[in-house]
Amino acid sequence: MSDIKGLVIQSRLDYLESLNDPNLVRTVLQKLSEPTRQAVGEQVFLTNMYPFRILRELDAVLGENLGQPLENVFRAIGEHFAGTILDRYFYNYVETQNPQAFLAQIKNLYPYLWDFGQYLYRKSNNHSATVRFEYDEDIHKQYCWFMQAFLKKGVEICGGKSVNLSEDACGAEDGEACVYVLEWK
């Protein structure tokens, strides 16, 4: 079974709360299955591991209830997540404005935040890199958008300007992995 850190699940709940609509939070929680509602309804422990299926279910319910394009929602969640965890786990690279070090450091932190798959990083030149996520779990497109926005915003926070992320392959769309090329000035 694949697990994910509560910090990633909390990113969805933080986004819901940022919309300042307590009825929306209640509605989303009510539409979750009983086991998922029990796991995330009262308190998500940021350092605990949760089954990935909980995140998948939460993402599906969010998509059904927000009335916004899914891609916009999950990219906004990814950007917010980057802003939250870069101060905690990547502070040195924010201070030194080092996007390459940020992308390289994810390899070290990946096993602690995600207990499935593998993250591979390859520096192309000083202003570009390729990252690859190989998953041993069926992922969903909302998750891909979240990860893309997290990476892109992370590079921006670490000093990258005019950041572009292109998707070369998508594990949610029958690809073997998710492969992203990031370029910046």
- Provide the residue-wise pLDDT of the chain in tens; the chain has 185 residues: 689 999 999 999 999 998 889 899 899 999 999 999 999 988 999 999 999 999 999 999 998 888 899 999 999 999 999 998 898 889 999 999 999 999 999 998 888 888 888 999 999 999 999 999 999 888 999 999 999 999 999 999 999 999 999 999 999 998 889 999 999 99
% helix, strand, coil for the chain, step of 5: 55, 20, 25
Class of domain 1-185: alpha beta
Question: What is the b/e burial string over 5-25, where b = at least 16 CB atoms within 10 angstroms of the residue's CB?
Answer: bbbbbbbbbebbeeeeeeebe
Q: From 146, 117, 115, select the one nearest 49 (Cα to Cα).
A: 115
pLDDT in tens, 71-95: 999 999 999 999 988 988 899 999 9
pTM across the whole model: 0.94
Determine the pLDDT at residue 115. 81
**How is the chain split into domains, by residue range?**
1-185
76 contacts 3 by C-beta, under 8 angstroms: no
DSSP state of 181: E
176 contacts 170 by C-beta, under 8 angstroms: no
